[in-house]
Amino acid sequence: MESKRNADNNESTNLELVLEHIASEQKSQSKSLSGLILAINSISERVTNFEGELQNSGPISVSTDVTAIQEMIKKAVTEIKMVVASQEQKPIIKKYQVLLFPERDAKLFYKIVFGRWLLFLSIMLLLTNLYKFSVHFSDNQKDIKLQILDNSRIYNSWNNLYLISGKRFRKVMDSVYYKTE
């Protein structure tokens, strides 16, 4: 039930954000449109004032063709109006991507990959091998200590038996000792 509420809340917040974004874009476009309208009105007033001055000035000895300029201005004004009218709201597109290789700056990407990652991987390999070596070394040292303890026990028992026993038994022990060497 709460997941539905969370989903509804997420959708409503997303819709609010989109509506706020659209409203802000419309405000900015209306400001720019009003600026364009003011500019067009001032240009058209200048054109009408210019036409009025031309008519009031009386006969001019030099004849100029103003209709071509007026047509060019009217054409430019209509093009501006068409551009403003054609600029509708553009849809907001959210793009989610998972890239294995970069779209841009491949040189930097490979510099990072082969410069840092390769270094980190080699350090990790070195540490794992060092760990394995240390564990192996520790096991070997433990085995050596156990062998030394076992050998010292045998040596001590041999010496104790040698000290306790009589002459005949000592001769037998000496002969066995010399045979094993």
Angle at 10 between CA 8 and CA 12, to 5 degrees: 65
69 in a structural domain: yes
Q: Of the candidates 41, 70, 96, which is a domain's last residue?
A: 96
- Residues 153 and 144: their CA atoms lie apart, in Å, by 14
For residue range 58-93, what is the model confidence (pLDDT) as tens digits?
A: 665 666 677 888 888 999 999 888 887 777 666 778
Residues 112 and 156 in one domain: yes
Least-confidence region, from 90-94, 139-143, 167-171: 90-94
Q: Helix, strand, or coil here: 100?
A: coil
Q: Helix, strand, or coil here: 150?
A: helix
Q: In the structure, what pLDDT confidence band is assigned to residue 145 with cuts at 50, 70 and 90?
A: very high
For residue range 37-48, what is the model confidence (pLDDT) as tens digits?
A: 888 888 888 888
Residues 116 and 88 in one domain: no
**Under a CB-based contact definition with an 8 Å cutoff, are residues 84 and 33 in contact?**
yes
Q: What is the pLDDT of residue 124?
A: 95
- Structural domain that includes position 137: 108-180
Residue 156 has pLDDT above 70, yes or no: yes
The two tokens of residue 106 are 């491949």
Top pLDDT among 179 and 127 is at: 127
102 in a structural domain: no
The b/e string for 94-103 (b: 16+ C-beta within 10 A; e otherwise) is eeeeeeeeee
Residues 119 and 154 in one domain: yes
Q: What is the pLDDT of residue 2?
A: 66
Q: Model pTM?
A: 0.33
Residue 76: CB atoms within 10 Å: 12
Q: Of the candidates 45, 65, 96, which is a domain's last residue?
A: 96
The two tokens of residue 161 are 């038996």
Q: What is the pLDDT of residue 144?
A: 93
Residues 116 and 44 in one domain: no
CA distances from 103 to 98, 100, 116, 118 (A): 11, 9, 20, 22
Residues 79 and 14 in one domain: yes
